[in-house]
Amino acid sequence: MKTREAYRCASCGAQSPRWQGQCPSCREWNTLEAVTVARKTVGPSGAASAQDTPRLLEDLEAEDLAARTSGMESLDALLGSGLVPGAAILLGGEPGIGKSTLLLQLAGSQARLGRTAVYLSGEESLPQLKSRAERLGLLGPGLLAIATTRVEDALAVLDGPEPPELLIVDSVQTLASPLAEGIPGSVGQVRAVSGELVEKTKKTGTTLILVGHVTKDGQIAGPKLLEHMVDTVLYLEGDRKHFSRILRVLKNRFGPSDELVVFTMNERGLEVVEDPATFFLGARDPSLSGTAMALAVDGQRPFAVEVQALVSKSFLSIPRRTALGFDTNRLNLLLAVLEKRLRLNLGGYDIYAKITGGLASRDPGLDLAVVSAILSSFYDRPLPEMAVFWGEIDLNGQVRPVAAHEVRLKQAGRLGHGPVCHAAACPTLADLQRLLFGRRE
């Protein structure tokens, strides 16, 4: 049998995976002693049960998985139908982006609906939680909180006579399980903690929301297995210097996986933007050169965004190329196509391009708007006032159609934009140049 080293309190007998000066149970000092214990294995063992044998799916009785409303219509639509009993949800995002605020608002909404929500925090104390909940106006019956770093305390909440309808764990990297070695946040600990919580909530019917830290690359930290264990993966993104936040679905077993919700951050927390079609557009002056309006599609929603470009004479041996809101490599590719297909000499210019409003997009349909803004700044001539652009540029200088063309066209008509520049209106970059500036060089 495999063994491992643990620490047991000489006063109360409580066991801890690591040594510390004070016993976490009885609060006595210098009572933890090193002992050797048998390593526990995660998961059931022994004889096979009836659930371990294959069964006909058509003979099984359908379970009642009627989802509970979250109290936010947009969030219900994002999740598919709401909070499914026994479902596990993973929420990731950068520090300070608003994850804890959003989940505390969700817990408060559940409490106002007469349900029990427990907010487990491994990063904040209870007075800190109360202060934030009071600032957001969420205090009331049904909203419970616990501050701990032990997974046993979370399991004890679920083992009670009346398990809560919602359990929020903020964050999974702060909890430690005696079933695994290592410090909280290590691969083994995250796997063990999440496995225990997911298994228990599926038995009790509690909806579980796990908060996950992210790496410097923006990926959810911990083992990739964590994303496979849960039913839904959400990601809250945005620029902390802007008021907008986007909640995006990366995986969803109960609904679409390409939806998003736009929020604004204010003193009362996060508020849903009901019609985000022109939210990122802001106040713009179409009489200036180097600005183009694009219809970008993210998920199923079309957004009108402004793409700005600045082409200025460079005094550096290697001109600068900077992109904000989209991939810099894509900007370099588009500039190479412009130089080759339109015979423009851009090698002596610094070129900057950005999407205004703090929105970051990977939509290939932004190519045509980026190119139009660059040409507008290069010639120092503004584009038509209500012109709108979408289309993908290939390496041959052809404008290719992009997904959701009809959705973009309908949205452009609803917003009153025109002329509309897309693959059918200007098939090549030369056609775009001739249409906008009446010239071909």
Name the DSSP letter for residue 67: P
H or E element that contains 332: helix 328-341
94 is in an annotated binding site: yes
95 is in an annotated binding site: yes
Tokens of 21: 């000066």
In 25-70, where does DSSP find H-type helix? none
97 is in an annotated binding site: yes
Q: Is 14 exposed, middle or buried (0-12, 13-18, 19+ CB in 10 A)?
A: middle
Q: How many CB atoms lie within 10 A of CB 415?
A: 17
11 is in an annotated binding site: no
Pairing of β 399-400 and β 392-393:
antiparallel
99 is in an annotated binding site: yes
Intra-chain end-to-end CA distance of the chain, in Å: 79
Give the sign of the dihedral formed by CA 53, CA 54, CA 59, CA 64.
Answer: positive
Please list, in sequence order, all residues whose beta carbon lies within 8 angstroms of the beta carbon of residue 436, skipping any fewer than 6 positions away. Answer: 372, 375, 376, 383, 384, 387
222 is in an annotated binding site: no
Q: How far is residue 96's CA from residue 366's CA, in Å, rounded to a whole number?
A: 29
Q: How far is residue 199's CA from residue 289's CA, in Å, rounded to a whole number?
A: 58
State which amino acid sits at residue 66: A
Please list, in sequence order, all residues whose beta carbon lies within 8 angstroms of the beta carbon of residue 147, skipping any fewer than 6 positions away. Answer: 120, 121, 122, 124, 125, 126, 129
Give binding residues as ranges. 93-100
Give binding residues for ATP as ranges. 93-100
